[in-house]
Copies of this chain bind each other. A is one copy, B any other.
Amino acid sequence: MADEPVVRRRVVKAASGISEARVNGQKTQSQYQPYKDAAWGFINHWYPAVFSKELAEDEVKGIQICGIPIVLRRVDGKVYALKDQCLHRGVRLSEKPMCFNKKTISCWYHGFTFDLKDGKLSTIVANPDDKLVGTTGLTSYPTEEVAGMVFVFVREDDFADEDVPPLSQDLPFRFPENSERFPHPLWPAAPSLLDADAVGHGMHRTGYGNWRIACENGFDNAHILVHKDNTIVHAMEWVLPLGILPTSDDCITVVEDEQGPKGMMQWLFTEKWAPVLENESLGLKVEGLKGRFYRTSVVLPGVLMVENWPGEHIVQYEWYVPITDDLHEYWEVLVKVCPTEKERADFQYKFDRVYKPLCLHGFNDCDLYAREAMQNFYADGTGWDDEQLVATDISPITWRKLASRWNRGIAKPGKGVAGSVKTHSIRFKDTAAGKPPGYFVEQIED
């Protein structure tokens, strides 16, 4: 043992020549500095806010995305979204909804009343002639509702209406228009939320950690070990490989079309990613490989698409919506085109009985755990500098670079909002009552 030097952390042999692109050197890191700065998320993007069924007619709900508090109200079917922070004394309108008509929402504290359409301060209940009326307002956020989901365009205060891109630019690649570029062995076109008759089923819950760590886990091709004991795997009698490895530089296609979503496609079902069946030194060998032909892609602002999963002609979407720098809302949505009532009912049945318990929970719960397990390493910034990456990490590195190039803005650290001060006595009071930080605003009963 005397002639064998003690090997310790980060003592990398110079001779072995880890390629620049894989090791997290200064040069590579400089290419994704904006990503490292985006702890509070990318702003000026479309994010899911609630499922349609979570916001009934005339209901008001408060959420927070990228450190921005947002109040939603549905009137005559349409969803309106405003900054959920009264410009007077800063309380959240959603904490105690007060609406006198279909066009406005009023603050429950001093009666400041805002137009739902554009956020303008249109009156004050007991002060209608105040000089402030008509001169100021709350930022409004464009909304879209498709396939049972409400999306909000979360923007900076001075982002102009005319610059708001269509929702499709922040959703995964659609088919059949991409069928030739991205051929799939099973079908010519995976479904999209935007398709006619598309049905989305899913759930969302708060993830305790930064959104980037969660997102990178979503399209991580090397963590198959985490899932080896999942019920769905065994129920389907699949036999998983030990892992998959990129075989050439075109294993990932970066997509940067001017008018389309910006992201990347991982060719998992092709010869570009080879299954690994053996590890000799550990005596591991897989026989009778039998799995699923799925394929993954990710687009800004962090939307995962897994095609052909968990069943044929189904896609799974995932979002990791930043709430603060250490909290995100984790969305899992399955989409299928169901033109008939029968197909809708079948999909619902399968979702409730199989997909939700075994996939969205059983399978993905393991990922939730893995994401939390990384938090200590990354939360104080250490991880971004100290991680030692390998061949399969071409996926997160490619993502970090493209996200740095194409995001529409880095959200500023939240100010004056939940999570901007993490040690506030109210947080301790709530925690003592068993309530950790979350996504929705808790409303007060009179």
Q: Which residues of A contact B (CB under 8 A)?
A: 4, 6-13, 16-19, 22-23, 83, 85, 87-92, 95, 98, 100-101, 104, 106, 108-111, 113, 118-128, 130-132, 134-140, 157-158, 160-161, 208-209, 220, 222-226, 229, 241-245, 276, 279-284, 324, 326-327, 366, 369-370, 372-380, 382-383, 386-392, 415-418, 420-437, 444, 446
Q: A18-B135, A222-B110, A425-B208 are in contact. Are A128 and B10 (CB under 8 A)?
A: no
Q: Are A90 and B7 in touch, CB under 8 angstroms?
A: no
Name A137's contact: one of B9, B132, B140 (CB within 8 Å).
B9
- Picked from B4, B226, B380, the residue with its CB within 8 Å of the CB of A108 is B226
Determine how close the nearest CB of chain B comes to the CB of A131; give it in whole angstroms: 5
A328: nearest residue on chain B (CB-CB)? B425
* 10 interchain residue pairs of minimum CB distance: A126-B243, A90-B377, A382-B416, A422-B423, A7-B137, A126-B242, A91-B373, A126-B276, A432-B436, A429-B436
Q: Do residues A243 and B111 form an inter-chain contact, with CB atoms below 8 A?
A: yes
A17 surroundings in chain B (CB, below 8 A): 131
Q: List 21 A-B contacts (CB under 8 A).
A: A4-B118, A9-B87, A9-B119, A12-B135, A12-B136, A16-B131, A87-B386, A87-B387, A88-B389, A90-B374, A90-B382, A109-B223, A111-B225, A111-B243, A125-B242, A131-B390, A131-B391, A324-B425, A382-B416, A386-B416, A429-B437
Tell me which residues across on chain B come within 8 A of A140, comparing CB atoms: 6, 8
Q: How far is the CA of A185 from the CA of B415 in the complex (A)?
A: 46
Kindly list chain B residues whose C-beta atoms are within 8 Å of the C-beta of A432.
430-431, 434-436
Which residues of B sit under 8 angstroms from A374, Cβ to Cβ? 89-91
- Cβ–Cβ contact A225 & B125, under 8 A: yes
Would A425 and B98 count as touching, CB distance under 8 A?
A: no
Total identical chains: 3
Contact of A7 among B7, B120, B209 (CB under 8 A): B120
Chain B residues with Cβ below 8 Å from A389 are: 88
Is there contact, CB below 8 Å, between A376 and B224?
A: no
Given A10-B87, A380-B421, 8 other A-B residues pairs in contact with their CB atoms under 8 A: A6-B161, A10-B157, A11-B137, A13-B135, A16-B131, A16-B134, A208-B429, A379-B421
Closest-CB distance, A102 to chain B (whole angstroms): 12
Residues of chain B contacted by A366 (CB below 8 angstroms): 446
Partner of A109, one of B134, B161, B225, B427: B225
Most chain B CB within a 10 A radius of its CB, from A89, A120, A139 = A89
Main secondary structure of the interface of A (DSSP, over half): loop
Q: How far is the CB of A206 from chain B (nearest CB, A)?
A: 8
Chain B residue nearest to A430 in the complex (CB): B432
- Determine whether the beta carbon of A123 is less than 8 Å from that of B282: yes
Does A437 lie within 8 Å of B431, measured CB to CB? Answer: no
A401 → chain B closest CB, angstroms: 18
Which chain B positions have C-beta within 8 A of A431? 428, 431-432, 436
Q: CB < 8 Å: which of B92, B226, B373, B386 contacts A373?
A: B92
Which residue of chain B is the closest to A281 with respect to CB atoms? B123
A135: contacting residue among B16, B121, B229, CB under 8 A: B16
Q: Which residues of chain B are near A137, meaning CB under 8 Å?
A: 7-9, 11
